[in-house]
Amino acid sequence: MHSNELSIGEALKAFLDKSPMRQKLTEVRIRQLWEELMGKAVSKYTDNIQFVKGTLIITTHVAPLKQELMFSREKIKELFNESLQESLIEEVIIR
């Protein structure tokens, strides 16, 4: 490959990095990872997951889970950023 050529993967990543679809695609990736990283029990009692401008918003109606997630916000942020291989999540809000 010449120095100015990109692989298909690199070209696709460059396109998505500039695309308005990036935010939505990141949210889809986070939702896909949720059960895998947090487990089936947590996933079952999570009502909604949103990713808005660097903020991961997790909604649950289960008070003990809400409390546990509140204490784990920093760990959740680190876990997802590591899995996404980017520091996309700046803040975690539990509702």
CATH number at residue 47: 3.30.300
pLDDT of residue 18 exceeding 70: yes
Structural domain boundaries enclosing 84: 21-94
Q: Are 81 and 88 in contact (CB under 8 A)?
A: yes
Long-range contacts of 57-66 (CB under 8 A, 24+ apart): 57/93, 57/95, 58/92, 58/93, 58/94, 58/95, 59/94, 59/95, 60/94, 60/95, 66/94, 66/95
Question: What's the total number of domains in the chain?
Answer: 1
pLDDT of residue 22 exceeding 60: yes
How many C-beta atoms surround the C-beta of residue 72 within 10 A?
A: 16
The answer to pTM > 0.95 is: no
Mean of pLDDT values over 39-68: 95
In a domain, 2, yes or no: no
- Residue 39: pLDDT band (50, 70, 90) is very high
pLDDT at 9: 82
pLDDT at 20: 75
